[in-house]
Structure 1
Amino acid sequence: MAISVPWSEHLSTGTEAAQDEVVRWYQGTRDGKSYVPTMIWGTLQTEAYATVILDQVVRFLGIPDDVSAGVAKRMQRQQVLYDGEHHYNVVLGEQALYTNVGGPEVMEQQIERLLGELDLPSLTLGILPSTTRVDLFPVHGFNIYGDGDRVHVELVSSSVDVTEKSEINLYLKAFTELSSAASHGAAAEELLTKAHSFWTKSSLRK
């Protein structure tokens, strides 16, 4: 079973309420999994990066502008990384390190944040190299919450929650394939350092 809610409805009052809901999702998930192919996972975003993302959401959807409040909630949700009660297995596509969100300075700081958090006990961070062969057709990003009883997918027009066990099992299978192909530890650090160097030396810098 999948429940789809249009963003026009879900974000009708702005971003803060939706971000507050996400905080509760993460607080209630002891063991979460996320695949994010083209941007940085929200729980590891810097304040500057998150501000750009939520500002784009507000402008694109034409919803009330409460970006600062939404960003504050997104920063609040990051507390789950430091409370010793949660663990998150996250796979980022290598493209996520190069998708230009906010310009070179924002991206440089964002990559530094990832490098600094790579050894967190609460985090298993994998980077899926763009040229690595994966035994799975290309798929959209997704988050597995509630310790495996709910999958959340974000589309252009709506958010979708999957609760049917057989469907969730497919997402778990997909995540296993993606995580197995991803680089972890020193190999992930090497990819992050390469991306950091790219943004540091970027011709796009002012």
Structure 2
Amino acid sequence: MTSLIPWQQRLSTGTEDIQDEVISWYQQTRHGRAYIPTMIWGTLQTEAYATVILRQVVDFLGVPDDVPAGVAKRMERQKVLYDGAHHYELILGEQALYTNIGGPEVMRGQLERLLRDGDLPSLSLGVLSATAEVGVVPIPAFNMRGEDQVHYELVSCGVDITDFAEIALHDKAFGALRGAASYGDEARNLITKALDFWSRGGSASK
């Protein structure tokens, strides 16, 4: 089964209420997986980075402006990384380290956070190099909540997939991405390279 809910409907009261939903999802999901090719996973975003993202959401969709409240809830959601009861497999596309969210200062702080928290016991962090060969066609970002649901965030709506056969295909796709991603020192090297880029003001070539 696939369900589609327009963002204007889900965000009709602003960003805070939906963040409460997401907190509940993460608390209930002991083992989650996420592939995020072009931005930083929300559960690892700094306050500054999350503020830029939610401000863009409010301005783009024209929903009620409660950005500080939404950001506070996004920060609350990150407690799952430190409670010892959850584990998440995260694969970031290398592009996520370079997509300009808020300018060099915000990006430096965000990449420093990745280097600091990338070795948390609750987290398996991989980075998919821009030149990595992957045995699956290019695919957009998706989150796997346990074994029962896959979630996509599209321009106009959120999409939830619960069909077993479709979830199995996403499991296979995540395995292919995991096999092509860099972990450990190799992942840290890619993040450090991006941090150096932003530390130079983001104007030099990679």
Same fold (TM > 0.5): yes
What corresponds to 1:65 in structure 2? 65
What corresponds to 1:30 in structure 2? 30
Shift of 1:202: 2.0
What is the SS of the residue equivalent to 1:35?
Answer: strand
What is the SS of the residue equivalent to 1:153?
Answer: strand
What is the SS of the residue equivalent to 2:32?
Answer: strand
The AA in structure 2 aligned to 1:104 is: P
2:80 corresponds to 1:80: yes
Shift of 1:203: 5.2
What is the SS of the residue equivalent to 1:102?
Answer: coil
Shift of 1:53: 0.1
Rounded to whole Å, the distance in 2 between the matches of 1:16 and 1:131 is 38
What corresponds to 1:170 in structure 2? 169
Runs of 4+ in 1 over 2 A off after TM superposition: none
What corresponds to 2:187 in structure 1? 188
What corresponds to 2:3 in structure 1? 3
Gaps of 5+ in 1: none
Rounded to whole Å, the distance in 2 between the matches of 1:179 and 1:19 is 28
What corresponds to 1:161 in structure 2? 160
What corresponds to 2:39 in structure 1? 39
Alpha carbons of 1:10 and 1:203: their partners in 2 closer, same or farther (altered >3 Å)?
A: closer
Shift of 1:148: 1.2
What is the SS of the residue equivalent to 1:188?
Answer: helix
Q: Deviations over 1:115-167 (max 9, x none)?
A: 0011100000000000111011000100011x210111000000000000101
Shift of 1:200: 0.1
2:94 corresponds to 1:94: yes
Rounded to whole Å, the distance in 2 between the matches of 1:169 and 1:49 is 33
- Between the aligned residues of both structures, percent identity stands at 62
Shift of 1:78: 0.2
Gaps of 5+ in 2: none
Alpha carbons of 1:133 and 1:69: their partners in 2 closer, same or farther (altered >3 Å)?
A: same
TM-score (norm 2): 0.98
How many residues align? The count is 204
What is the SS of the residue equivalent to 2:165?
Answer: helix
Rounded to whole Å, the distance in 2 between the matches of 1:118 and 1:64 is 34
What is the SS of the residue equivalent to 1:173?
Answer: helix
Rounded to whole Å, the distance in 1 between the matches of 2:156 and 2:18 is 15
2:94 corresponds to 1:110: no
Rounded to whole Å, the distance in 2 between the matches of 1:169 and 1:184 is 24
Rounded to whole Å, the distance in 1 between the matches of 2:123 and 2:9 is 33
What corresponds to 1:150 in structure 2? 149
What is the SS of the residue equivalent to 2:92?
Answer: strand
Alpha carbons of 1:203 and 1:16: their partners in 2 closer, same or farther (altered >3 Å)?
A: closer
Rounded to whole Å, the distance in 1 between the matches of 2:188 and 2:49 is 20
What is the SS of the residue equivalent to 2:50?
Answer: helix
Shift of 1:81: 0.2
The AA in structure 2 aligned to 1:181 is: A
The AA in structure 2 aligned to 1:11 is: L
